Structures are given as C-alpha cells and as structure tokens.
Structure 1
C-alpha cells in the first residue's frame, strides 16, 4: 500500500506540529450558493473603505482575513459529504470577484487555498480529505509554496526526501501568496520514485521547525497578498500530509480549470472595482472637455460612449466567467478528456476577456476621470497596478493559442495548472 492510500491512519497521525492559532471561534457555516453570495457582499462593503489605505501603507490585513475566515467563505468548496457547502464554481468565482472588487489583494489571498482543496478532492485519500476538510471548517487556512525562481527550466528543486522514520523537505520558494497568513503551506516538491522524479503536494504546517516565511514581496501591485518567500530547512513531514500531484494531471481532472477560473474572477473583480470607482468621480469631480460644450463631464458624449464601451466589455467578461463556471461544474461531475478540455477552453476564454477588461478599466479610469484622479491620496492607481500585476500570473497570449488550436484543429489543451 502506498503512503497516500493509507485510509486507515488516524486523525492523530495526521496532526503533527500544531499550526498557528485558529480564529477566536469556529467559522460560520455557509449552507448554500445564495448565502455565500450574501456573505461576500457584506464583507466587501466592510473591506472596501480601507482598501486604498492598506495598499498605500502596505498594511497587512490580519483583521480582515480573520473576518473573512470567520464568515465561512474559506470553506465553501468543501464537499457536502464532509460538512461543506460545495458551492458551484460559478458562485466561487462570483464570491472571489465580489471581494476582489473591494480589495484585489484580499480577493487573491485565498486563491491557492481553494486550489489546494481541489488537489485534495481529486487526489487525496478519504482519511486525508476528512482531516484537512475538518481543519478548514475549523478555521485554518492554506497558503502555498508552489513556484521557484532563479532557474529558467521550470524544474522544481524543492525536494522531499523519504527514509525510514525521516521524511523531510528542503528548498526555497517564491510568489507564495497567502503563506504569510497560513496555518498550512501546501508545497510542491519532487521525490524519487524508482529512479525518476515525481511531483507531490505536501501540506506543511506553518509552525513546523525549519519553515521560514519572509515577507519580501515588493511588487507594485497586490501589495498585501503576502506573496514572498518560504524556505524549508530539513522540515519534517508526515506521509499522511503528502498528496499525489503529477498523477492528477496524467488523467483528466479539473485542478487546472478550477485554479484558472479563480484567477479570472480576481481580474473580473479588479475591472468592476475600477469601473465602479470611475463613475462617481466622473459625475462629481471631472471636467467636461471644452469642445463638448456641456456643463458636466457626465454629459460629455464621448465620455458617455467610453463608459458604455467599458460596460459592455465588463458584462461580456461576466458572462464568460459564468459560462466557464458551468463548464467546470460539468467536468467535475463527469471528468472526461472532452469535458475537462471544454472546461479549460471555457476558462481560457474567460481569462482572455477578464485580463483585457481589468487592464482597460484601470487605465480608462484616468482617461475619463482626468488629472485630478491621479492624486496620490486617492489611491485610484491601485486598480491598474493590481490588475497589471495579477494578469502576469500566466501569459494570456497562450490562452488565445489554446483557444484557436481547439476550434481550428480540435487540439485539446495541455493539462496543467495554467490552463
């Protein structure tokens, strides 16, 4: 029996080092799609007023994250059989977009938390699912340590060494969104399996000896996502914390589409936030161009047309995200080569348009609002900075390639986390 098939291991065997303290109470239990959306709207109204201040001062959102977790939203993808709401992927995307419109960093922080839950759902044993789903419903959050920098060959060098009585991890990661705030850090590692390197996802306790999380993310956008470095120095791990990863892409699964629809939703939220911020500014503070011969900027016919164009693009992006959510739902229910490919393409289409919409809305905010909108104290530049930073997660040009190859040549897209 392989280590990840150890159904009979107890919860105590999985527990290991105590993670960081949980929230002060157990989170609320979100019961269904409608409640998830209502809770997200309430939180967004709570998060929005200080978003510019958090961005400008790089003020880490500890209190906001606690409120986010206590709301129950971090557990909404847990399957019903394990006590969660198991919301649809369209609702997961909409929840993410609602929070991202209020604060793009807060919208991104749980992305890899949901991603890890999907890897667990696809590849974990019943014992692993029971243990980690319980942790999430109790208020513990997952970060990530997936990416590595300094090498151009995309080979992972963080290694899991397995010896009798001594399983440990050594390596260095970057772009570790959420790790700073996490109780567990799902970490991509390579391990030797009969002479070849195979990739696994290891749930590493944030408080484990040898784990060093450094808040060294200094990107000009998404400033408080905690996307810095994690180092592992001979970090002891348990076999029961190790989930198959590479083999989950050897067959059709929805790990990639699930990850990508959340990214699309973050960009959609950024676009909404910029669009919604531009409207009152144009109405109340902007000047009309002299040749418009009107008293108010909101009566300028060219401004009106530009706002209409943005609105149409935004509505189109929303429609594609909703459509992609239905495709991911269908692929989760019946994962076949075709259904997963169709979900990947639907999500790629959504990402192509949400990328454009978020960048366009953030840029045209200034074009339409005018010079007064550039004043630093307003913080309106955060929408474009956040969108530009997040949309670099993976290149949209390859989305178009995958989409075109699918329709023109019936070529199924590759299966990995970026499609």
Structure 2
C-alpha cells in the first residue's frame, strides 16, 4: 500500500525560525516512508561542519569512544565534559577504558566497534598508519562545500564517457560487515535503483581537474581506496541507506537531489561536495524529479592530521565553518520524528506486520526496527 505522507518539515537553519519562504519543496521516500521537506535560501548557503548520529545509541557509543580519544590527546576530565556536553561523571566512567572494553548500546552494529582500516569482508587490506587505526576514526563530522566545482562539462563528459551498468543490490552482516546479495520474494536477485560505473583518469578532463584540486587541498591522492560513479537518470532512481568502511568525499553533478545523512536531508546541487565518515547515507526516491544526476564518491582513509580534526564541530565551536544552520537541520528532523513515526505505523499492512512480530515475543521497538531495516519486505 502507498506510504502515509508525514507533515511537511523544514530542512532549514536560522531562516526557519525567521519564517523564510521556501524556495524548494520536495517529496521523498526512504524506508517506505514519504516525507515532504521545504528548503529555503539559507539551506543553499550553508557551508561547514555538523555532527551526525544514526541514533541515540550511536550518539551514546560515539561519546564513550570520544572520551577515550580526547583523554589520549591530553585533555582534562572537565574539558572533555564541556566538549561532549556531558557530565564529568559520564567522562569518568569511560575515559580510562580501552576502546575494546566499551559495550555497544542497542542498535550499534558489531563491525562498527572494530578498528577503521583493518581487513574486513568489504575492505581487503586497506593501508592506513597505526596512528589512524582506531574505533574513533569511524566517525567524523559532515563537511559541506557548496559549489566546490563549477564546470558544466563534468556531467556531460561523465554521462557520455562511462560504461553504465545496473548492479546487484546488497546488504550487510551487522556483526562482521560482510556484504551479501539481496533477493526478492521469488528468490531472484534484486538490482540497485541506480546505475554505476568505474572512473579512470582521462575519462573526463573536467573531472580530472576537479580531483586534482581536491587532492591538492586535502592531501589525499595517495590515500584513496577507489573512485566510483553513480547515475540517477531521474527521481525514481535511488540508492538505499548504507555505510562504507572508510571516509567518503561525494561530488554531485547535474540536477539537485536529496542526500540523507543519518536521516538528515541535504539537498545537493550541481558542483557540491560533501565529506563524511561512516555515517549512514542514501539517495531517496523523489517523484517530482525528471532530470539526471551523477555522483562521484571518492573513498579514502584519513591520516593522523585529518583524524585530529574529525570532530571540528565539537572541538572548535567558534570556528565559522561549524554551521549552526546544519545543526538546526538535525534538530528539526528529530522534532518531526514522532509525527513521521505515527504516520508510518498507521498503515494497516505495516501495523499488521508489527502486531505479528509482537505476538511472537519481540518487543515493539525491536520489531519496528527490524521491519524498517527490511524495508517492510515481509
């Protein structure tokens, strides 16, 4: 059945509080839930860093790991408490522990407790220095760079010069991080909702210039683990929410599309660059969009200087790049969550599936999480 639409939400910053007029209104659908979001002018002006968490459990776990990380940097208990906006009692409980001793709250998958860069099913022997191997390195603040590239040739060169193919949809083993193919009810393999291709130097002179600028600014040319291409011919093409085992720099070209990062919608326009850690991210269905978009994800592992600056929003609150507007986006999404959840579970089919799991002995929260993770494919 069709998903219930939630009340409109605003992905805005301070303009939302000032009653700024919406300049874009989009419907989008992720995890079987339809949302309408308004974007005003302030949304397209935001640049900087913002903290991002997949859930309350992830926030709790990250703060425990961060307490250990900051203690190793020589910060005092009081300093860490102020940075994390936590009590000194919280810091005292965790800061002297080894990272491997920190228990996972519910919802934090086991593979996220391993060291970033170690050999896993999805990461075949990545090379990182010992000083960047830590559980803390999984997360970094999200960085937004608007109009980082202003060259219309990029989209056309990539569109015409790439071997686009549909790929098999995959899911993960939450304990090991292993990747597995997804199947439909008939036992056939599912395909991803977008098309992909590989990128090689010389494929697009305009993209080569873009990457040269990026590598020079961030010092990453010898730390990449791959460069990919994703094509979304229109708004029906989408990519489910997922994580990578490394950090990502994502370039966006063509028509504007929403990128969700830990459920927060960021409307990416032509030439925008977003850099993030292992946060959940995806490209939802947008029914009104009829034009194409190409993204170029650059996968990389941080060096010790990048790890040191990974929590820019926390450690440099006076830095002008620490965007209050972006932080407000996350708060507004959280405030809209109860209404969205109520609309989601008011659907009769979903309510029936939930009731069946509860009757089998699952608690309601666990049953809801399982159904949402399976995209209600019951």
TM-score of the superposed pair, with normalisation by structure 2: 0.23
**Larger relative contact order (Cα-Cα within 8 Å, sequence gap ≥ 6):** 2
Larger helix percent: 1
User: Comparing both structures, which one devotes a greater share of its residues to strand?
Assistant: 2
TM-score calculated relative to the size of structure 1 = 0.22
